[in-house]
Chain A
Amino acid sequence: MIKIDTLFFTIVNRGKANAVLRKAKECGATGGTILLGEGTVQSKLLEFLGMTEIRKEILMIPASGDLDANLHDQLSETFKFSKRNKGIAFSVPFKRWTLEASDQEHNISIDDDRFTHCCILTIVDKGRSRDCITAARAAGARGGTLIHGHGAGVPADSYYPLAIEPQKDTVLVVTRKDKAASVRERIFSDLELDKPGNGIIFTLPVSTTSGLFETRTEERKGGTS
Chain B
Amino acid sequence: MSLLFDKTKEVTKTLLPVVVLVLIICFTIVDVETDVILRFIVGSVLLLIGLTIFLWGVELAMNPIGEHMSREVATSKSPVKIAILSFLLGFLITVAEPDLLILGDQVEGASGGTLASAIIVYMVSIGVGVMISLGIFRLLKDKPLNKFMAITYGIIFALAILVSEEFLAIAFDASGATTGALTTPFVLALSLGLSNVKGGKGSEENSFGLVGIMSAGPILAVMLLSIISGQKNIQGDAGEYIFQEGVIGPMLEAIPHLFIESLIALLPISILFFIFNFTKFKIKKGEMGGIIKGLTFTLLGLVIFLTAVNSGFMDMGRILGMEIAKMNTWLLIGIGFALGLIVVLVEPAVHVLGEQIEEVTGGHIPVRLIRMTLSIGVGIAIALSMVRIVVPEVKLWYFLLPGFAIGILLSFKSNPIFVGIAYDAGGVASGPMTATFVLAFAQGAATSIETANVLVDGFGVIAMVAMAPVLSIMILGTIFQRKKVEYHQTSEDKSTKATSPVRRDDLYYDCLLVIVNRGFADNVVDLARQSGATGATIIHGRGTGDHQTVVLPIINIELQPEKEIVCLITETDISANVANNLLKDSWLEQEGEVAVFISPTVAMIKDLTLDNSFLED
Residues of A within 8 A of B (CB): 5, 7, 13-14, 18, 21, 30-36, 39, 41, 43, 46, 49-51, 53-55, 57, 62, 64, 85, 92-102, 104-111, 121, 123, 127, 130-131, 147-153, 156-160, 162-165, 167-168, 170, 181, 184-185, 188, 193-194, 196, 200-205
Query: Please, how many angstroms separate the alpha-carbon atoms of A110 and B536 in the complex?
Result: 22
Which residues from chain B contact A92 at a C-beta distance below 8 Å? 599
Shortest distance between the CB of B64 and any CB in chain A (Å): 8
B604 in contact with A150 (CB, 8 Å)? no
Cα A120 to Cα B167 with chains together (Å): 62
**A36 surroundings in chain B (CB, below 8 A):** 358-359, 362-363, 540-541
Q: Are A33 and B515 in contact (CB under 8 A)?
A: yes
- 19 of the cross-chain contacts (CB-CB < 8 Å) are A7-B513, A41-B2, A50-B294, A95-B599, A96-B496, A101-B497, A104-B497, A107-B502, A110-B600, A110-B601, A123-B537, A147-B539, A157-B77, A160-B140, A163-B199, A167-B196, A170-B539, A200-B604, A201-B603
Alpha-carbon separation in the docked complex, A7 to B595 (Å)? 12
In the complex with contacts A46-B1, A54-B2, A202-B601, A105-B498 CB distance below 8 A: yes
B328 interfacial by beta-carbon distance below 8 Å: no
Given contacts A41-B3, A98-B494, A151-B535, contact A50 B56 (CB under 8 A): yes
Choose among A152, A160, A162 the residue with the greatest number of B CB atoms under 10 Å from its CB. Answer: A152
Q: Which residues of A contact B284 (CB under 8 A)?
A: 127
Q: Assess whether B4 is in contact with A105, with CB atoms less than 8 Å apart.
A: no
What chain A residues lie within 8 Å of B525 (beta carbons)? 152-153
The answer to whether A98 and B78 touch across the interface, beta carbons within 8 angstroms, is: no
CB–CB B543/A170 < 8 A? no
Query: In the complex, A14→B10 CA distance in Å?
Result: 13
Shortest CB-to-CB span from B511 to chain A, Å, is: 6
B residues near A108, Cβ cutoff 8 Å: 503, 599-600
Contacts of A30 in B (CB 8 A): 545-546
**Are A184 and B604 neighbours in the complex by a CB distance under 8 Å?**
yes
Q: Are A106 and B497 in contact (CB under 8 A)?
A: no
Residues from chain B with a CB closer than 8 A to the CB of A49 are 293
One digit per residue, 1 when the CB lies within 8 angstroms of any chain A CB and 0 when it does not, for chain B 511-540 equals 111010000001001000100000111111
Q: How distant is the Cα of A219 from the Cα of B67 in the complex, in angstroms? A: 42
The complex places the Cα of A121 from the Cα of B196 at a distance, in Å, of 23
B282 contacts A by Cβ under 8 Å: no
Instruction: Evaluate contact between A33 and B541: CB separation under 8 angstroms.
Output: yes
Per-position contact with A for B182-197: 1 when CB-CB < 8 Å, else 0?
0000000000000011
B230 within 8 A of A: no
Q: Which B-chain residue is minimally distant from A160 (CB atoms)?
A: B140
Please measure, in the bound complex, the distance between the C-alpha atom of A121 and the C-alpha atom of B4, giving whole angstroms.
28
With A50-B56, A98-B496, A106-B598: A148-B506 Cβ-Cβ less than 8 Å = no
Q: Shortest beta-carbon distance, B355 to chain A, in Å?
A: 9
Give chain A residues whose Cβ lies under 8 Å from the Cβ of B512: 97
Q: A95-B498, A127-B287 are in contact. Are A106 and B504 (CB under 8 A)?
A: yes
With known contacts A101-B494, A127-B287, A109–B1 Cβ distance under 8 A? no
- 5 closest residue pairs by CB, A with B: A165-B199, A202-B603, A149-B539, A104-B498, A31-B545
CA distance A123 to B290 in the complex (A): 21
Q: Taking CB as reference atom, which chain B residue is nearest A118?
A: B602
Which of B64, B498, B506, B538 is close to A150, meaning CB atoms less than 8 Å apart? B538
Q: Contact between B596 and A106 (Cβ–Cβ < 8 Å)?
A: no
What residue of chain B has the Cβ atom nearest to residue A164's Cβ?
B197
Cα-based distance from A188 to B602 in the complex (angstroms): 13
Within 8 A of A (CB), among B25-51: none
Given A160-B141, A204-B599, answer yes or no on A46-B4 (Cβ-Cβ < 8 Å). Answer: yes
The smallest C-beta distance from A110 to any residue of chain B, in angstroms, reads 6
Q: Which residue of A lies closest to B595 (CB)?
A: A96
Q: Chain B contacts of A181 at CB under 8 A?
A: 615
Complex: A36 Cα to B569 Cα, angstroms: 21
Query: Do A33 and B3 touch across chains, with their CB atoms under 8 A apart?
Result: no
Q: How far does the alpha carbon of A33 sit from the alpha carbon of B617 in the complex, in Å?
A: 35
* CB-based contact A43/B603 at 8 Å: no
Number of B residues, CB within 8 Å of A? 103
> CA separation between A187 and B525, bound complex, in Å?
27
- Given A43-B1, A97-B597, A184-B604: A158 and B75 interface contact (C-beta under 8 Å): yes
Q: How far is the CA of A145 from the CA of B527 in the complex (A)?
A: 29
Contact B197 A109 (CB under 8 A): no
On chain A, the residues within 8 Å of B540 by CB distance are: 35-36, 149
Chain A nearest Cβ from B79, distance in angstroms: 5
Per a CB cutoff under 8 Å, which of B287, B507, B515, B584 touches A110?
A: B507
A36-B540, A151-B535 known; 20 new pairs, CB 8 Å cut-off, are: A34-B362, A36-B359, A43-B1, A49-B293, A50-B297, A54-B2, A57-B363, A62-B595, A92-B599, A97-B512, A97-B583, A99-B494, A105-B498, A106-B502, A111-B506, A150-B537, A152-B529, A157-B77, A162-B198, A202-B602
**Can you list, as one digit per residue, whether each of B322-363 has a CB less than 8 Å from chain A (1) or not (0)?**
000000000000000000000000000000000000110011
The residues of A that contact B553 with a CB separation of less than 8 Å are: none
Query: What residue of chain A has the Cβ atom nearest to residue B68's Cβ?
Result: A127
Given contacts A21-B544, A33-B542, A159-B76, contact A85 B537 (CB under 8 A): no
> A31 and B77 in contact (CB under 8 A), knowing A51-B4, A101-B497, A168-B537?
no
B286 at interface by CB-CB < 8 Å: yes
Contact: B545 with A53, CB < 8 Å? no
Q: Which residues of B contact A95 (CB under 8 A)?
A: 498, 597-599
CB-defined contacts of A168 to chain B, threshold 8 Å? 537
Residue from A35, A46, A96, A97 in contact with B541 in the complex, judged by beta carbons closer than 8 Å? A35
Which of A35, A41, A54, A131 is packed against the most chain B CB atoms within 10 Å?
Answer: A35
Whether B6 lies near A94 (C-beta < 8 A) is no
Q: Is the CB of B293 within 8 A of A50?
A: yes
In the assembled complex, which residues on chain A have CB atoms less than 8 Å from the CB atom of B535? Answer: 151-152
Chain B residues near A160 (CB-CB < 8 A) = 74, 140-141
The residue that A31 contacts in the complex, of B522, B544, B583, with Cβ under 8 A, is: B544
Minimum CB–CB distance for A182 against chain B, Å: 9
Asked whether A34 and B600 contact (CB < 8 A) given A106-B504, A162-B74, the answer is no
Q: How near does chain B come to A9, taking the closest CB pair, in angstroms?
A: 11
CB within 8 Å for A50 and B359 given contacts A152-B538, A167-B196? no
Q: Is A33 a contact partner of B563 (Cβ separation < 8 A)?
A: yes
A107-B500 in contact (CB<8A): yes
Q: B229 at the A/B interface (Cβ < 8 Å)?
A: no
B569 closest partner in A (C-beta): A202
In the complex, which of the residues B67, B502, B539, B569 contacts A105, with contact meaning CB atoms closer than 8 Å? B502
Chain B residue, CB-CB nearest to A38:
B3
| Nearest CB in chain A: distance from B154 CB, A | 26
A123 neighbours in B (Cβ, 8 Å): 537, 567
Smallest CB separation, A190 vs chain B (Å):
13
Q: Is B239 an interface residue (CB 8 A)?
A: no
Contact at B580–A99, with CB atoms within 8 Å? yes
Indicate whether B82 reaches chain A with its CB closer than 8 angstroms: yes
Cα–Cα distance between A153 and B521 once the two chains are bound (Å): 11
Task: Please give, as numbers and ranges, the residues of chain A lying within 8 Å of B497 by CB-CB distance.
Answer: 100-101, 104
Which residues of chain A are within 8 angstroms of B287 by Cβ–Cβ distance?
Answer: 127
Q: In the bound complex, do residue B76 and residue A150 qualify as a contact, i.e. CB atoms below 8 Å apart?
A: no
**Alpha-carbon separation in the docked complex, A94 to B572 (Å):** 14
Q: Min CB distance, A6 to chain B, in Å?
A: 9
Q: In the bound complex, do residue A204 and residue B604 qualify as a contact, i.e. CB atoms below 8 Å apart?
A: no
Residues of B within 8 A of A131 (CB): 286
